[in-house]
Amino acid sequence: MLKLGEKVIIVGDRFEQNLPIGEYGYVIAYDRNNDSAFEYIIRVPKANRQFYVPASDVELEETLLELEAERIEREALIDFALATRNEELFNRIVRGNQEDEAHEASDKEVLSREEFIRQVNLKAWI
């Protein structure tokens, strides 16, 4: 739950109220009516209005800045990996944790004796 006075950014308009998406606003009140779909009342200084909004339509400014910083960092690492032709780094960045989870799952998997011998022979043949 957002605190009163926190700076938020409007990221959606679920109920099509013509909210100014991408604009800053401040939480000025909670809508405590149980029958209402709205959680907050926000004040948007640029529009000189206040809006009733659900929680999914607003996001903290800090959270959005963190997400943007992570995206820029990831893009910079991909550019570096491509510039240096570092295939291992590129694959690790692009695939993320999927590769680590695949290795853990394969390590935990118990192989039958025949399957193990087949894999060893296959690797020895290569």
pLDDT for 110 equals 73
DSSP state of 45: T
Determine the structural domain holding residue 26 and report its residue range.
7-62
pLDDT for 50 equals 92
pLDDT by residue (tens digit) across 53-79? 999 999 998 999 999 999 999 999 999
**Burial readout 35-67 (b: 16 or more C-beta within 10 A, e: otherwise):** eeebbbbbbbeeeeeebbbbeebbbeeeeeeee
Is residue 35 situated within a structural domain?
Answer: yes
Is residue 19 situated within a structural domain?
Answer: yes
CATH of the domain at 36: 2.30.30.40
Is residue 100 situated within a structural domain?
Answer: no
pLDDT by residue (tens digit) across 10-54? 999 999 999 999 999 999 999 888 888 899 999 999 999 999 999
pLDDT for 34 equals 82
Split into its structural domains, the chain has a count of 1
Neighbours of 3 (CB within 10 A): 7
Q: Which residue matches tokens 């909670």? A: 30
pLDDT for 28 equals 95
pLDDT band at 100 (very low <50, low <70, confident <90, very high): low
Predicted structure pTM score: 0.62
H-helix or E-strand spanning residue 53 = strand 49-53
Determine the average pLDDT of the residues in 80-92: 89
Higher pLDDT, 8 or 108: 8
Which pair of structure tokens corresponds to residue 18?
């013509």
